[in-house]
Every structure is written in structure tokens, then in C-alpha cells.
Structure 1
Amino acid sequence: MSRREELAAGLGAVRERIAGACAASGRDAEEITLVVVTKFFPASDVRLLADLGVTDVGENRHQEAEAKAAECADLGLRWHFIGGLQSNKAAAVAAYSSVVESVDRPKLVGPLARGAATREEPLDVLLQVSLDPPGREGRAGVDPDALPALAERVAGEERLRLRGLMAVAPLGEDPATAFARLAEIRATFVAEHPSASWLSAGMSGDLEHAVRHGATHVRIGSAVLGSRPTDK
């Protein structure tokens, strides 16, 4: 099987899963944006994915993302930065990304706005909210109680466009429970910011739960691309 055929098969299976999850939830599959996470995979795979209809690509390491976006600049893709973001790299990330999904502290807002000043369009921003229980060290993300203040900081920047929320289900927790909690957080958030209705949640192992609880974007890597290359 050629690499193109492998990717086509992976994409087909994921799109079927999304369609099935939407049907079970009474949603339209057109509401869901598939972001294919190409971390550690070569730009040649990105080109094949684009040829297979993929429009949104996710990366979470700045150096790799910057190089890949430049190499594939002719494809017109939307690049989503989904990894932990350092404030000293934020301006550079804003220059090539279409969406930054991992904004989790006020310190990032100024540098992102400066980097976005080099773009024709404002930078789309998602706030990464923590779903970890209080007091537990877990994945990145802003505490839900601090979400309103961070949202106001982003909304106050002319070159940034607040689009919604992103989250990752905590390790060791039932993703259905975590995403149900996320849906409640999002309902409160959207009441305050009606135009910020994007919800990026769900990965290869839990996309169905995320779709059921309102995800508009799912971030899928291994289910499309296969196991990560051993040479990173």
C-alpha cells in the first residue's frame, strides 16, 4: 500500500467515525472541522493530506511547525498551533499560524498580538481550559475560574480574534465525564462571548465523546497518520 493509500484509508475511517458520532448526537457532520496533527511526520505527508481534502493541520512544536508551514505555504492550509506555548516564541508562532489553540495565560496575549500585526487577517485564538480536578497537577490550561479575565484580555486585542475554547481530557479520567464538564464551562463562556463558539476537543481515542458534548474541531493524529516515526 502506498503512503497516499494509507493516509486515504486513515482519513476515511476517521471521517466515518465523525459521521457516526454526529448521527448519534443529532448533529451534522459538516459542523465538525477535522484538524490532522502531523507532529513528527514529514511535509510530504502534509502534501498528500492536502491532496486528499484536508484543509486544517495541527502542530505543537514551534521549530517543526514553522519549517513545515513554510515548505507547504503554496497549499493554502490553515495551521493550528496546539502545543504548549512559550511567551518568547509566541510572536513567531502568530506569524505563520492561522489558529493558536493553546492560550492559557495572560503573558501570551501581548506577544501573540505583536506577531499577529504582521498578518493580513487577525489571528484566531482558542483558550485552553484545564479539565483537571482542583489541586491536581495535570495538563496545561487555564483554571475555569480564571477564564473570564483571560478572555477579556484576548478580546481587547485588535489583532486577535477570540474564537472559543480548547481542552484535553485528563489522563486517567473517563473522557465522557470530562467533556460533559467542558460543555458546562463552554455554555457559560459562550453566554458572555457569543461569537466565540468554537470548541476544540477530542483526539484519536475519544473523538466520539467530544462530538457528543459539542466539539466543533477534533484534533486527530495517529488514527490518520499511523504510529509516530521513531526518528524524530
Structure 2
Amino acid sequence: MSLDDNMAARIAQLRERMDAACTRAGRPAGSVTLLPVSKTFGPDAIREATALGFTRFGENKTQEIRQKTGDLAELNLQWVMIGHLQTNKAKDAARDVAEVQSLDRLELAHALQRRLETEGREIDVLVQIKTSPEPSKYGLPPESAADFLRTLARDCPALHIQGLMTMAVQSDDTQAVRACFRALRELHDHLKTLAIDGVRLDRLSMGMSGDFEIAIEEGATEVRIGSAIFGARQYPQ
């Protein structure tokens, strides 16, 4: 997709592609949530996106969320942590985020629970599952998911379990990418049959700018999109 200079046009093109993927999968158009990923983009870009109706934004780093929370305080935005969260950053996440989509270990869950109790807050969480063979990818092994969810539901009441998240392998092999998304959906379907008390599995967050159409075809309920909305990222040297 060629990126138009206008964010509204980029989003319109993106939603057309999302709806087409839904149609191919036999799903209703408009049934997949679009989460803008604003990491590395400044307040002006986020203000432009809020003017187009967005109130939730995905970020990778707690320090960037803290900065933007201050810069954009009057907008009352919801920040979604989608990057790997270090346990020593649980305090920052508990203070600033509405949701963590990258929950992948009990140590982090317990740290968040303690900090949320101190803050008097509760947040939504998605459990990140590792479906890619890449060592650089984080996530819980699929075979550990059921026990992990049971422990979360029992020990961490401030964490409201909403579903699962994954990142596909970075590859030009579309079948390898599709296999990652399919593995998450199949795990989700299996876990639903277990009917674990206190666990909602309504959401599957998977798919980014380069692979969201495949993710939707395989069952994503939410896609995390950055560059296809905001344009090419400018990383610091």
C-alpha cells in the first residue's frame, strides 16, 4: 500500500483492507478492532489520530507512555502496553496503562498485582503466547497457557484476563506467518473448552502493518498497526 500524506486517507485504505480480509474469512466487515501503535511518534501525530476518533494507543516502553501521558493529559487517552515489560517496570505500568497485552510470566503478573493494589487500580491483560520459533520473540509456551491462566485468575484479581496475543515470525513465507496466527487461534479454541473460572477469552490480538490481513483471516479480533497509520518510523541513531 502506498502511503498517502493524509492520515485520514491512510486509515480509510487500511479499513478497506481489513474489511476485505473479514469478508474473505466469512466474518462481518468492521468486526476487527484497530489499535494504533504510536511508539516513536510524537504528540502531534497522536493528536491527529485522536481527531479521527482513536482513544487507545499501543506503546512499547513505559517511559514513552509516561512522557506522552504528561504531554497529552487533557485528552484522557488509554495507553496499551504491547512491548516486552520488564518486571522492574511494573510500577510504571500499574500507574499509567489501561491494558497490558504482553503478560508472559507469573513474576510479572505478581509484580503488577502488588503495584495495582498500591495504586487502587485494575487493568485488562492479554496473555502473550510464543508461536514463533525466533529467539527474539517473547511469550508463554502454548502448553503452559492453561495452568498460567488458572493461576492468574486465582492470585491476581486486579488483572482482568481478556484474551491472548502473539507476534508472528518475521518472514516472507506467508505460510509460516499464517501458521503462527493459526496456532494462537487453535490454542484459544482449546482453552475456551476448558471454561476456566475468571478468564475471558474474547480477544485475539495479532497482526501488524505487514501481516494484519493474514491475522484477520485466521481469527484476529484486534490488529496492532503503526506505520500504516502514522507513516515510516524515525528511530533515533
Fold shared by both chains (TM-score > 0.5): yes
Q: Which residue of 2 aligns with 1:189?
A: 191
Answer yes or no: is 1:160 the counterpart of 2:191. Answer: no
Structure 2 distance, partners of 1:119, 1:24, is 45
Which of residues 216, 219, 222 in structure 1 aligns to 2:227? Answer: 222
Deviation of 1:15 (Å): 1.1
Contact 1:43 1:72 in 2 (8 A): yes
Distance change in 2, residues 1:30/1:78 (3 Å): farther
Which amino acid counterpart does residue 12 of structure 1 have in structure 2?
Answer: A
RMSD: 2.0
Distance change in 2, residues 1:74/1:28 (3 Å): farther
Deviation of 1:120 (Å): 6.2
What TM-score, normalized by structure 1, do the two folds share? 0.90
Q: Which residue of 2 aligns with 1:92?
A: 92
Deviation of 1:110 (Å): 1.4
Per-residue displacement from partner, 1:198-232 (whole Å, max 9, x unpaired)?
Answer: 11000001111111111111000111111112447
Deviation of 1:123 (Å): 0.6
Contact 2:188 2:201 in 1 (8 A): no
Distance change in 2, residues 1:116/1:31 (3 Å): farther
Q: Which residue of 1 aligns with 2:37?
A: 37
Structure 2 distance, partners of 1:170, 1:214, is 17
Contact 1:95 1:119 in 2 (8 A): yes
Which amino acid counterpart does residue 196 of structure 1 have in structure 2?
Answer: L
Distance change in 2, residues 1:36/1:177 (3 Å): same
Q: Percent identity?
A: 36
Per-residue displacement from partner, 1:120-148 (whole Å, max 9, x unpaired)?
Answer: 65210001000024xx6240101011112
Contact 2:185 2:204 in 1 (8 A): no
What TM-score, normalized by structure 2, do the two folds share? 0.88
Which secondary structure does the structure 2 equivalent of 1:218 belong to?
strand
Structure 2 distance, partners of 1:55, 1:118, is 26
Structure 2 distance, partners of 1:168, 1:211, is 13
Structure 2 distance, partners of 1:76, 1:23, is 34
Contact 1:31 1:216 in 2 (8 A): yes
Q: Which moved more, 1:145-154 or 1:187-196?
A: 187-196
Deviation of 1:61 (Å): 1.1
Deviation of 1:29 (Å): 3.3
Deviation of 1:24 (Å): 1.5
Tell me the number of residue pairs that the alignment of Structure 1 and Structure 2 aligns.
227
Structure 2 distance, partners of 1:18, 1:82, is 20
Q: Which runs of 5+ in 2 are unaligned?
A: none
Which amino acid counterpart does residue 181 of structure 1 have in structure 2?
Answer: A
Contact 1:132 1:138 in 2 (8 A): no
Per-residue displacement from partner, 1:61-120 (whole Å, max 9, x unpaired)?
Answer: 111112112322322332110001110101211221111000111110112112323566
Structure 2 distance, partners of 1:119, 1:209, is 39
Q: Which runs of 5+ in 1 are unaligned?
A: none
Answer yes or no: is 1:137 the counterpart of 2:135. Answer: yes
